[in-house]
Structure formats: structure tokens, C-alpha cells
Amino acid sequence: MNKNMEYLKKEKNMSKIIRTELLFAPLLIITPFIVGSIFIYEWYSRGFVTGVSSFDFEVVLGLIIIFGNLMFDIPFVKSLRRLSRENLEKKE
């Protein structure tokens, strides 16, 4: 592995660190979806309904935020689930 890609690791603090990650996970995953949805709602209520094209960028941005995040959220959640399963199996 590339040296630049290595992360700081400390066994003794691992569980504390992982707990921090899990606590942050809902915020990191849910916030972009809320923000993206607000952008789309703004476009719908002020642009689409009234036929004003000035808000078109907002729907594009909303979709980019939602799908861009989804692209990384899925492997993130999968990696957490996979690792937890593997570790439980190892312990058993």
C-alpha cells in the first residue's frame, strides 16, 4: 500500500475512535440528503411551479449533492457492516 494512504492506528483507542465514527455517521449521511432535498424543493416551489428558469441550477445541485453522497455512503455503510460481521466471526 502507498505510504501516503496509511492511517494513524492505535489499538488502545480503537473502540473509542470507532464509536466516534459511528456517532458521526448519521450526521454525515443524513445532512446532505436534507440539504439536497431543500435545494430541490426550492427549485420546485419557486422555479418549476412558476415557470422561472433562474432556479434550474438548484435542482441540478440538489441531485448532485444527493447522488454524490449516496455514491460514497453505500460503500461506507457496507464496509462498516462487513467489518463488524468479520470481526464478530473472528471472535467467535
Positions in the binding site for other proteins (CB under 8 A): 3-10, 12-22, 25, 27-29, 31-32, 35, 38-39, 42, 46, 54-55, 57-58, 60-61, 64-65, 68-69, 71-73, 75-76, 79-80, 83-84, 86-88, 91
Q: Is 49 helix (H, G, I), strand (E, B) or coil?
A: coil
Shortest distance, position 78 Cβ to other proteins, whole Å: 8
Question: Which amino acid is residue 15, in one-letter code?
Answer: S
Shortest distance, position 36 Cβ to other proteins, whole Å: 8
The dihedral sign for the CA sequence 81, 84, 89, 90: positive
What's the burial of 48, exposed, middle or buried (CB within 10 Å: 0-12/13-18/19+)?
middle
Q: Which is nearer to other proteins, 3 or 49 (CB)?
A: 3
Among the listed residues 82, 43, 83, 87, the one whose alpha carbon sits nearest the alpha carbon of residue 61: 43
Q: Which is nearer to other proteins, 48 or 55 (CB)?
A: 55
Shortest distance, position 65 Cβ to other proteins, whole Å: 5
